[in-house]
Structure 1
């Protein structure tokens, strides 16, 4: 039997050893900074109502992660379980791969910034920031260096000797942040820390807080009920409702591609128009049949909500291929940069349409109440929600 010329044999001799192909190493994924393993919290613990129910989340190291939802949705309870202020009824909390469930707050490498600043009014800013380091027995020279660096980071180094009573709300919040960060926690928990500030200062602090987080590289877990705040600051966010996570993803994913009716309506403004789905089209109640660009996981004949954002709807210069529907202008709301039109499509069904006021916009070009208009949107800009 002749050997196959395509696969020549080599004698197994010291001069011709068998070639061993290197085995590629299996990539090792680092443990997340925070892992919530099906955590639940019930009040009372013996079988009462759920405040948090079977939440599973991984928060990566160095991530700015937000817990977003209305009052009573469980977001603060979830934060308190991460910090050790509340024990879960079921499930576990892991920090950097270590199970810390049941450990008190001082045994976890986390710090918390609350809505109330809780500063010591009789101490200077420098002494407020140094308080935790002194309790840990850190050397004086290191305390001075770390406090000076942290106050400079929050742009308050020149006020180190001042007392908290002389500061503005935004400055006090910076001191509270510096006091938490100076301990170099593994995770920083923030429970609606900007809620007490006025709108202009809150927006300024949102930008500054994100910049500080990027500079220090610490994982931030941020609780808020403000959708704009979460969209502005987060790398990822979890939308919570009635103790559960409705949707988790990047701000763009959650806003542009909501997976539930609750997320679509809670994240900004979304028009929800009822209808019936069949074969790639939705027939509106008392309205036309419209093509949709999404293939939803619902059977034909299902009752659905057609969701489309106000800024995705066109009021003029409609293009071929758009979904089109006619309605009556019921209200015009001028808001400076934008004008919002409330348009009734059918009794009880009103949609909001947002138009930018550009340099070419004129007051006389705005639609008036009672006018019949045709609106439209591109099929790919609407979602079908069960």
Structure 2
């Protein structure tokens, strides 16, 4: 089972709409700190092989610190994003993901480091000189213009011939399934339709990279999930590199080819959705990506020994010395309440809470004083209410040791 701000612009930001970057005297230099982005070799600033395609985006040790503060919005980040990749920057509010996106687009100048697009250093260039477009959360549509004129806005300012504008606008509205509404005004549309218009307006200029700053955040849950699928389908069809900012873990897991989890201005882990979800490299990533049980203890001979309670079998762990303080991480859906297989670890506990969630039920099970784990079970296992565990009942839980992670 799988579970896992800057103010919007006053008008649409197209590839040819000038938006001055932040002045250099708003920032101060800082001491350099090396960041290792884990998860995949492309995430680090390795030398570019001769003759190999350039990354669509390379952030080379970029950092941002605002004047009169000692807090960095972004620490030294080195990151490569491949051509045609759907790449997500994921993290809680204030982690630096939007600042990183804005430095890529030219809306904010880095304090240090370089921004390269297809191998070209664009660090000092304003947004209108970079082959990127940005879709903001607000969409920033012109309500007095038709959908077709909204989409054509950047093309007209670029002096594209009228016949080509009509063709490209028509093709793009058809792509986002709004061709029949070309003459309508944005005020007559639903939130999902307005989001698609903003996407069409950004894509019609054929940018090398499309930056998306939480464009689905204002939509309701059902519509947001549908738009996640549609947006990924559109990205595959047009083949443009998408860099997507979100704080929603499910959104990043659903849409991304790769993602970077950010925390306090740094990249904690970078990799495929499966890598990051199944094999988190830190307690922060394990807890932020969906739900994970983090149980503190001491590692001894293939077990995590609780301070007060049982020893939890996890199997031998190379590189984890006996006696070291660790956290055992295991996802709720990886824990079993019945039907144990040979070789599974098993311990006893007491059910403290049962939470019915429609297709699943979550049990909170106390293993020792102050140590409670969450267990997620499909309701096909115990479909009737009377078959489910109740508070106070003694239960056995089990897991495959290979599904556990032992984290510092």
With structure 2 as the length reference, what TM-score do the two structures score?
Answer: 0.86
Distance of 1:219 and 1:274 partners within structure 2:
41
Q: Which residue of 2 aligns with 1:155?
A: 177
1:257 correspondence with 2:257: no
Cα distance, 1:73 vs structure 2: 0.3
**Equivalent residue runs for 1:99-118 within 5 Å:** 99-118=121-140
1:127 correspondence with 2:156: no
Q: Which residue of 2 aligns with 1:340?
A: 362
Q: Which residue of 2 aligns with 1:16?
A: none
Cα distance, 1:135 vs structure 2: 0.4
Distance of 1:266 and 1:360 partners within structure 2:
29
SS at match of 1:53: strand
- Contact between 2:351 and 2:395, CA under 8 Å: does it hold in 1? yes
SS at match of 1:91: strand
Distance of 2:381 and 2:324 partners within structure 1:
44
Cα distance, 1:107 vs structure 2: 0.4
1:35 correspondence with 2:35: no
Counterpart pick for 1:238 among 260, 285, 308: 260
Q: Which residue of 2 aligns with 1:212?
A: 234
Distance of 1:272 and 1:314 partners within structure 2:
17
Residue deviations 1:115-134 (CA, integer Å, cap 9, x gap): 00111111100000000000
Distance of 1:142 and 1:81 partners within structure 2:
32
SS at match of 2:128: helix
Structure (1 or 2) with the larger CA radius of gyration: 1
Alignment RMSD (CA, Å): 1.3
Cα distance, 1:279 vs structure 2: 3.2
Give structure 1 regions of 4+ aligned residues with deviation exceeding 4 angstroms. Answer: none
SS at match of 1:134: helix
1:92 correspondence with 2:114: yes
How many matched pairs?
A: 360
Cα distance, 1:48 vs structure 2: 2.8
SS at match of 1:305: strand
Q: Which residue of 1 aligns with 2:43?
A: none
Gaps of 5+ in 1: 1-25
Q: Which residue of 1 aligns with 2:34?
A: none
Q: Which residue of 1 aligns with 2:78?
A: 56
SS at match of 1:70: coil
Residue deviations 1:51-99 (CA, integer Å, cap 9, x gap): 1001111000000000000000000000000000000111111100011
**Equivalent residue runs for 1:1-386 within 5 Å:** 28-44=51-67, 48-293=70-315, 295-358=317-380, 361-386=383-408
SS at match of 1:73: coil
With structure 1 as the length reference, what TM-score do the two structures score?
Answer: 0.91
Gaps of 5+ in 2: 1-48
Residue deviations 1:99-121 (CA, integer Å, cap 9, x gap): 11121000000000000011111
Cα distance, 1:360 vs structure 2: 6.1
* Greater CA drift, 235-244 or 281-290: 281-290
Cα distance, 1:166 vs structure 2: 0.5
* More relative contact order, 1 or 2 (CA 8 Å, 6+ apart): 2
SS at match of 1:354: strand
